[in-house]
Amino acid sequence: MTVALGDYVYGSFSETSDKGTLLLTTEVLDFGLAGFKSIESVALSFSATTAVTSALAEVLIYWRNDRKSSFRATSWFRTDPLGMAFPMVTALEFKVSVRLTDLSAGYLDSLTTFFKAGDGRFGRSDFRLIVGEQGESD
């Protein structure tokens, strides 16, 4: 008999083959703008609570240029040590996917997408602000 009396939650379970990989994909992102947008970078704010020797955080962008079509995927972009990835994708709509492997524990508390709206066709007020002719770029 090997059941110990102690502070445990025992379970009877089997495990699926995808254990070990944290995988997230967002809902559709169009940033509230109808024209083409360019995702330049994605920043992950995450922490690992135990030593992570080979943690690998990657970002993939699903994109489409027609709302009736299926999404197509880029390849995975590995993040830098600060959690930044630089995929550079231009399209109408996106979904951002995040993959973290080799984690024993960790938290992801936000995902920030940096994008530029270069498509000036839908500007109704100050066109120059949108295309950045007056040095508005950063």
Partner 1 sequence: MRGNTLRLKPKGLSPVSYGLRNSGYLTVASNVRMQGEVCEYYQGDLTAFPALSVGATTINMTVDWPYPQIFQHDSGIWIANRNHLYQLSYVSAAWTLDDRLSSYSGHDVSWPWTFAGPPMNPVFASGNVLVWYDRTDTAWKVYDKATTGHTTPGSNWSSSWYPPVSICNFRGQYVACGSAIATTAPSQSRLVRWSEIGRFAWFGHTAQERFRDSGEWYAPVDDNEILLRCEALRSGVMIYGTFGSYFLYPVEESFGFREVPEIGISNPLAIGGNLDQHLVVDRTGGLWIIEPDPRSRDKVIVKNLRYEGTLYSLVDGSNISTGAGLVSVVWNEREKEWYISDGTTSYLYNADGLTKISKVVTGILDMKEVVLTR
Interface with partner 1 (CB under 8 A): 1-16, 18-32, 40, 95, 97, 100, 103-118, 129-132, 136-138
Minimum distance, C-beta of residue 108 to partner 1, in the bound complex (Å): 4
With respect to partner 1, which residue has the nearer C-beta, 6 or 81?
6
With respect to partner 1, which residue has the nearer C-beta, 79 or 97?
97
With respect to partner 1, which residue has the nearer C-beta, 5 or 51?
5
Minimum distance, C-beta of residue 76 to partner 1, in the bound complex (Å): 14
Minimum distance, C-beta of residue 122 to partner 1, in the bound complex (Å): 14
Give CB contacts under 8 A, 24+ apart, made by 86-89.
86/40, 86/41, 87/39, 87/40, 87/41, 87/42, 87/59, 87/60, 87/61, 88/38, 88/39, 88/40, 89/38, 89/39, 89/61, 89/63
Minimum distance, C-beta of residue 43 to partner 1, in the bound complex (Å): 9
Scan for tokens 């100050």, then name that residue: 126
Q: CB atoms < 10 A from the CB of 137, how many?
A: 8
